[in-house]
Amino acid sequence: MRLLLGFLVFCAWASFARYHYVCKIKNNCNPVEETVAPKAPINTRPKTLSLKSGDEYILKDYEQFAFKNGSVNPNPTANNKDFIEKVADYLKKNEDKNLTIMGYYRESEKNTASDMYENLGLARAAAIRSLLERRGIQQERISLDFNSITGDKLIEPATFELYAAKTKSPDEFDKDGTRLAKVQFSFHDMTYSDANFEYDSDVFKPKEAFLAYADSVKTYLELNTDKTLTIIGHTDNVGSHEYNDGLGMRRAKSTKEYFIKMGAKSPIKIMTKGKREPMAPNDTEENRLKNRRVNFKIE
């Protein structure tokens, strides 16, 4: 019996000794899986962001801003912030230059408004404009524009173009020689397309973005009784000056009546520019839509 017990103890000790030697000392019990270091995240933002004045590059090879689907917040990188700093510095040193920020939106975002802006392209451009305002650039020196892209890959969501401040426009003209106007899209100088009207009509059917803006304007005018609202109708170039002047005035009047029904007490002026101040060449339906607009100025 003692012999059997001793044998069992010897076997247990031998097993432990073998385990300790093979597993602990030689480390051969289980092959250690090769540890692969995680790859650094790939920067998917192309370095194609630039600041141009005509054909001249003032800044180039910066990372593009990035916007998630449906978002107006750019979440700027350190590289984006450096670009904004340099754009602000340039504008401070060159007061004869102003800036246009063109914002883009995806095809799937076409009918998405944001706050008082009728499309996400404008809202994104305005969000970037605010970054420049925080660095001391007056809002009046930054105009906005917008365009849509085909598909859902928003690779270049914004472009930056300088123009001569004294002319209020770059050297861009409509096909009839009319200089293109620069548009602010700010609270005191806001613009909405004729998507708020029935086609070729003065019947006013305000959409969500305009409703948000109009409510804010009414409150502002109540608190600032010395301010006046001027509503200006614009059209594309289809038709005669006489016809378009009339359509622009009727739309301005229809919009004024909406403000009056809201209870606006401040004086409201109306006027028409017809087809005299296009903001885009009248060469595509999308550009003609930009030109068919109503402008609201608070002064």
Please report the domains of the chain, with CATH numbers, ordered by start residue.
42-171 (3.30.1330.60), 173-299 (3.30.1330.60)
The pair of three-digit structure tokens given for residue 163, joined into one six-digit string: 């123009």
Q: What is the DSSP string of 207-274?
A: -HHHHHHHHHHHHHHHH-TT--EEEEEE--SSS-HHHHHHHHHHHHHHHHHHHHHHT--S-EEEEEEE
User: What integer pLDDT is reported at residue 167 of this predicted model?
Assistant: 59
pLDDT for the residue numbered 36: 46
- Spans of the chain below 50 pLDDT: 3-5, 7-10, 13-14, 16-17, 19-22, 24-27, 30-42
In Å, the largest CA–CA distance within the chain is 123
Given a contact cutoff of 8 angstroms between Cβ atoms, the answer to whether 169 and 180 are in contact is yes
Q: DSSP 3-state assignment of 170?
A: coil
207 and 118 Cβ atoms separated by less than 8 Å: yes
Give the Å distances, CA to CA, from 175 to 112, 184, 278, 284, 296: 31, 23, 11, 12, 26
52, β-bridge pairs: 57, 161
